[in-house]
Amino acid sequence: MLFWIFVFLLARQSGLTQGHPDLLVRASETSCDCTINSCRTLFDIVWGCLATIFACTWVALHQNVPDPKLGWFSLLMRKLCMMLVTIIAPEVIVAFAARQLVSARWISKEFNVSKTHRFFCTMGGFVSEKGHPVSRRKQLPAYISAIRAVKKADIEDKSKGDTLSKGVAIAQGLWFVTQCLARVFQHLPLTQLEVATLVFAVISVVIHLLWLHKPLDVQQPIVARSEVDIGLLQEEGVTPPSDNITLRKITGEIFGIYQGCSPLSSTSVPTFYSIAIHAGETHTVIALAGVGGIFGGIHCAAWNTIFPSMAEMWIWRISSVFIAAYPVLTFLAPFGINQAPDNDIAAAVLVGFAVVGYVVYPLCRLFLVILSFTTLRALPPSTFVDVNWSNYIPHL
């Protein structure tokens, strides 16, 4: 509820529409006079947004432990691919993080290990003597003694970030949100690029909170020695998982479908892997629907901003509404099928709705990305007026 109140206030106060010429005159009344007001340039706006997007997507990504044989270039490309997924579909990363959090909590409750140990398990951080990941539920009882023997400090030493650094990253995202709120309350317009960046700032805070205790950018696993024969010493004909990221693979892995993944034929877990438990799927669906709605909802906050043309304004509005509504409707649709008098017809409608969404949803995302930059060509003068922080901090 608080989120949608924020979206309403932002949409109401963030600017004026291109469809009303008299309002454009009013928008030009607030201009940036550098002798009186603090000003910002177009470069400041673009650079600030791109730097925030990069920081929010790059730093927020807590990857699973990769194959130890991968070189630096392969590791870089692996993270760049995940960064691209985060930019295109941030709700996928949130769903992945939520699934790992649920798996980690189950491990902690079942085997009484620390928060760091439980995340290190689900991200493929522990391997057997032969280098195969300890990544299945039925493997954990055989290795839990060895896992507990590993010191928490040894795991944290492999992490490239601690609670303080993650706290700084969260603070950075919250600072951008604060700047946007300050502009709203001072009746200064936000650009469409800033609204799009606001999405990544909010979602990065969510991702950091979900992965607060997950080690960051670990590149080498820890060997755990088993004293029990778990009966998995012979497993043939399974192809080691590939690190190639495809839409089908991402969709399957997010919901716990890991084709060709076997602990005894692999040296690492898949990119979006987490130890499968039954409760994880529900949390995954809720995260996808919730974050998808937030993603589109924040874009809807730019409903009344000034656009260079009516066509761009309506493309933005339609795309934002579709992105906000589609994940939520997809989540609620199965409940409607159960209440429908003819389940077969309702199911067919749901399948058709899903197929249309798979085509339209990426296009709407693409439109929003393009419009975030094309609308920068015609900004009202009040856009370049900076926030007057002395209104909130006396004597600044």
Nearest to 270 by CA among 294, 291, 242, 246: 242
> Would you give the DSSP letter of residue 240?
P
> Would you give the DSSP letter of residue 133?
B
Phi, psi of 223 (to 5 degrees): -80, 130
Task: Look up residue 395 and give its amino acid.
Answer: H
pLDDT score of 47 more than 60: yes
- CA–CA distances in Å: residue 52 to residues 61, 194, 247, 344: 14, 10, 26, 47
Q: What angle is formed at CA 102 by the lines to CA 243 and CA 323, rounded to 5 degrees?
A: 70
Per the prediction, the chain carries an average pLDDT of 75
What per-residue confidence (pLDDT) applies to 271?
Answer: 79
Longest pairwise C-alpha distance within the chain: 79
pLDDT tens readout for residues 239-271: 444 455 555 555 555 555 555 566 567 778 887
For residues 186 and 234, the model is more confident at 186
What per-residue confidence (pLDDT) applies to 334?
Answer: 58
What per-residue confidence (pLDDT) applies to 313?
Answer: 92
CA–chain centroid gap for 14, Å, is 25
Phi, psi of 168 (to 5 degrees): -65, -40
pLDDT tens readout for residues 278-330: 654 566 667 677 777 788 888 888 888 888 899 999 999 999 988 888 877 77
Domain spans of the chain, in order of start: 39-227+246-390
> Would you give the DSSP letter of residue 98?
H
What per-residue confidence (pLDDT) applies to 208?
Answer: 83
What per-residue confidence (pLDDT) applies to 311?
Answer: 92
Round to whole Å and give the CA distance between 74 and 86: 18
- Tally the residues of the chain: 396
Residues 6+ apart with CB under 8 A from 23: 16, 17
- CA–CA distances in Å: residue 358 to residues 132, 258, 296, 350: 36, 21, 16, 12
Please state the pTM of the whole predicted model.
Answer: 0.74
Round to whole Å and give the CA distance between 13 and 188: 8
Residues 6+ apart with CB under 8 A from 230: 138, 139, 141, 142
Question: Helix and strand tally (H, E) in the chain?
Answer: 14, 2
- CA–CA distances in Å: residue 58 to residues 87, 89, 146, 194, 250: 10, 14, 33, 18, 19
pLDDT tens readout for residues 332-343: 665 555 555 555
Round to whole Å and give the CA distance between 361 and 295: 12
Q: What angle is formed at CA 22 by the lines to CA 16 and CA 24, rounded to 5 degrees?
A: 45
Structure tokens at 189: 């317009």
Helices (H), 140-191: 140-149, 152-158, 163-185
